């Protein structure tokens, strides 16, 4: 017996690491993002048309395996969902919601009131002049109650107002502001609450680590609350790059919003690996810069060292989100694979960027196992 044991021991010792890798601790290869993050926060992703319709079959596979929450990248924006005053197009939004329900995902609606991708008729009359405040209020109410009402009880949270505040803290001079002044903000939240009293309601923006913008959002949250208007959370988009922001600045905003009495969700996360022509870009849609070869250095792939830096920074952000898992309810990536990311064309058209968690062949990047390990390392 003893001899047999001695004989087998080297074999057992050799097999131990193998057993450890596949069975003792769940390795990143077996554990998915949504499993690892289950008790921490929802891990979400924005869906484009190819994913919603199922045309992107490989993408849908990754979606269903890895993610627990979805948001529509474009199809619920006013120019798509409400192209004419008396016509709504719910074709894609209905499929989007059905896909989320089939997979028991947390579904967020994006976005009700936004100056960009705004239906051209929304704020003007037939001659192209601004409508009166009364007319705009009626249009906002009809738009919000029709859309929120249609998905009542099914869409769990709404980005009610998107990007209303500039980086310097001033209110954006949008058509809504021009016609209604700052009153349009509480009105939008009130209309949404009336249409679905159970739904969570969010204010969503980018560059919220700019101190003046951070303060202005805190002020907005407080003023809505003082008026008795429902607001549940602030969405921090998080279109970040390799230089900006500092993790500490991002953290200050998570803390400031929480202290103002709302939840925080990271709503549109992507990390560009490319040089930025200007640090103030964020997701300012009007920004655009001319193409230059030196601003597109990774057309044929990223050197290993640079990729490692990217993985580390992505990991650092998720470490921050995990540290604040009592405040952060959802982290949503702005797309599944690098091939689909809007960052390939923003703020410079025609570059090759690598901002998401899955590569152009739908394979998880090293950052995925880095995030899973970090999630397994923290308690609940
Ligand atoms: O990812 C979206 C892209 O496909 C659209 O062309 C673009 C138009 O503005 O909007 C993108 O999504 C934006 C989101 O709705 C709001 N925050 C900034 C995002 C990136 O522009």
Q: What is the pLDDT of residue 242?
A: 96
Tokens of 15: 């097999």
Would residue 251 count as lying in a domain? Answer: yes
Would residue 214 count as lying in a domain? Answer: yes
Q: Which residue's C-alpha comes closest to atom 17 of ligand 1?
A: 283
Would residue 11 count as lying in a domain? Answer: yes
Question: Average pLDDT of 115-125?
Answer: 97
Q: How far is the CA of 378 from the centre of ligand 1 (A)?
A: 33
Q: How far is the CA of 35 from the centre of ligand 1 (A)?
A: 28
Q: What is the pLDDT of residue 378?
A: 86
Higher pLDDT, 24 or 53: 53
Q: What is the spatial distance between Cα 257 and Cα 108, in angstroms, rounded to a whole number?
A: 20
Summarize pLDDT for 159-215 with one digit per residue, the tens.
999 999 999 999 999 999 999 999 999 999 999 999 999 999 999 999 999 999 999
| Alpha-carbon 103 to chain mean position | 19
Summarize pLDDT for 237-249 with one digit per residue, the tens.
999 999 999 999 9
Q: What is the pLDDT of residue 278?
A: 77
Would residue 58 count as lying in a domain? Answer: yes
Q: In CATH, what number is assigned to the domain containing residue 101?
A: 3.20.20.80
Q: Which residue's C-alpha comes closest to atom 19 of ligand 1?
A: 283
Residues known to be catalytic: 163, 268
Residue 39: pLDDT above 70? Answer: yes
Collect all residues with Cβ–Cβ distance below 8 Å to 259 and sequence separation of at least 6. 218
Tokens of 211: 């101190």
Would residue 343 count as lying in a domain? Answer: yes
CB of 241 closer than 6 angstroms to any ligand 1 atom: no
**46, 113, 116, 165: residue to mutate for ligand 1 pocket, most atoms within 8 A of CB:** 116
CB atoms under 10 Å from CB of 171, counted, come to 16
Question: Do 316 and 241 form a contact (C-beta atoms < 8 A)?
Answer: no
Residue 297: pLDDT above 60? Answer: yes
Residue 224: pLDDT above 70? Answer: yes
Band of the pLDDT at 21, cuts 50, 70, 90? very low
Summarize pLDDT for 43-63 with one digit per residue, the tens.
999 999 999 999 999 999 999
Q: What is the pLDDT of residue 288?
A: 75
Q: What is the pLDDT of residue 8?
A: 57
**Structural domain containing residue 291:** 2-375
Question: Do 76 and 103 form a contact (C-beta atoms < 8 A)?
Answer: no
DSSP 73: S
CB of 73 closer than 6 angstroms to any ligand 1 atom: yes
Q: Which residue's C-alpha comes closest to atom 3 of ligand 1?
A: 342
Band of the pLDDT at 129, cuts 50, 70, 90? very high
Q: How far is the CA of 55 from the centre of ligand 1 (A)?
A: 21
User: In total, how many domains does the chain have?
Assistant: 1
Would residue 162 count as lying in a domain? Answer: yes
Question: Average pLDDT of 95-123?
Answer: 98
Would residue 365 count as lying in a domain? Answer: yes
CB of 117 closer than 6 angstroms to any ligand 1 atom: yes
For the chain, how far is it from start to end, CA to CA, in angstroms? Answer: 45
Tokens of 153: 């009880």
Q: What is the pLDDT of residue 4?
A: 55
Please state the pTM of the whole predicted model: 0.91
Summarize pLDDT for 311-360 with one digit per residue, the tens.
999 999 999 999 999 999 999 999 999 999 999 999 999 999 999 999 99
Residue 26: pLDDT above 80? Answer: no
Q: What is the pLDDT of residue 18?
A: 42
Segments in the chain forming alpha helices (H) = 2-19, 33-36, 49-53, 57-66, 78-81, 91-102, 133-150, 175-180, 184-195, 211-226, 247-259, 304-323, 366-377
Q: How far is the CA of 303 from the centre of ligand 1 (A)?
A: 28
| Secondary structure class of 46 (helix, strand, coil) | strand
Q: Which residue's C-alpha comes closest to atom 20 of ligand 1?
A: 283
Question: Do 358 and 364 form a contact (C-beta atoms < 8 A)?
Answer: yes
Band of the pLDDT at 290, cuts 50, 70, 90? confident
Q: What is the spatial distance between Cα 160 and Cα 191, in angstroms, rounded to a whole number?
A: 10
Would residue 147 count as lying in a domain? Answer: yes
């Amino acid at each position: 017996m003893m001899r047999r044991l001695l004989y087998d021991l080297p074999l057992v010792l050799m097999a131990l690491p193998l057993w450890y890798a596949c069975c003792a601790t769940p390795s990143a290869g077996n554990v998915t993002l949504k499993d690892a993050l289950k008790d921490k926060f929802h891990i979400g992703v924005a869906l484009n048309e190819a994913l919603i319709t199922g045309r992107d079959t490989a993408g849908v596979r990754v979606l269903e395996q890895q993610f627990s929450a979805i948001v529509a990248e474009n199809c619920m924006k006013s120019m798509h969902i409400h192209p004419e005053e008396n016509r709504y197009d719910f074709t894609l939004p209905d499929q989007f919601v059905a896909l989320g329900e089939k997979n028991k995902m947390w579904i967020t609606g994006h976005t009700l009131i936004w100056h960009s991708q705004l239906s051209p008729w929304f704020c003007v009359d037939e001659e192209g002049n601004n409508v009166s405040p009364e007319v705009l209020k009626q249009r906002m109410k009809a738009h919000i109650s029709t859309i929120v009402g249609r998905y009542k009880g099914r869409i769990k949270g709404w980005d009610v107002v998107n990007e209303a505040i500039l980086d310097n803290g001033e209110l954006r001079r949008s058509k809504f502001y021009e016609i209604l002044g700052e009153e349009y903000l509480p009105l939008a939240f009130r209309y949404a609450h009336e249409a679905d009293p159970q739904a969570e309601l969010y204010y969503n923006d980018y560059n919220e680590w700019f101190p003046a913008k951070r303060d202005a959002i805190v002020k907005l949250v407080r003023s809505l609350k003082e008026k008795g208007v429902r607001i549940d959370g602030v969405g921090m988009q998080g279109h970040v790059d390799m230089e900006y922001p500092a993790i500490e600045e991002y953290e200050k905003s998570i803390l400031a919003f929480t202290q103002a009495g709302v939840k925080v969700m990271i709503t549109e996360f992507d990390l560009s690996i490319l040089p930025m022509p200007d640090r103030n870009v964020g997701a300012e849609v009007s920004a655009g810069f001319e193409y230059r070869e030196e601003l597109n250095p990774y057309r044929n792939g990223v050197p290993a060292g640079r990729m490692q830096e990217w993985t580390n920074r992505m990991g650092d952000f998720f470490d921050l989100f995990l540290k604040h898992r009592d405040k952060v309810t959802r982290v949503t990536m702005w797309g599944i694979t690098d091939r689909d990311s809007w960052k390939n064309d923003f703020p410079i058209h025609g570059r090759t960027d690598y901002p998401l968690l899955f590569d152009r062949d739908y394979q998880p990047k090293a950052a995925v196992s880095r995030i899973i390990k970090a999630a397994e390392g923290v308690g609940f």
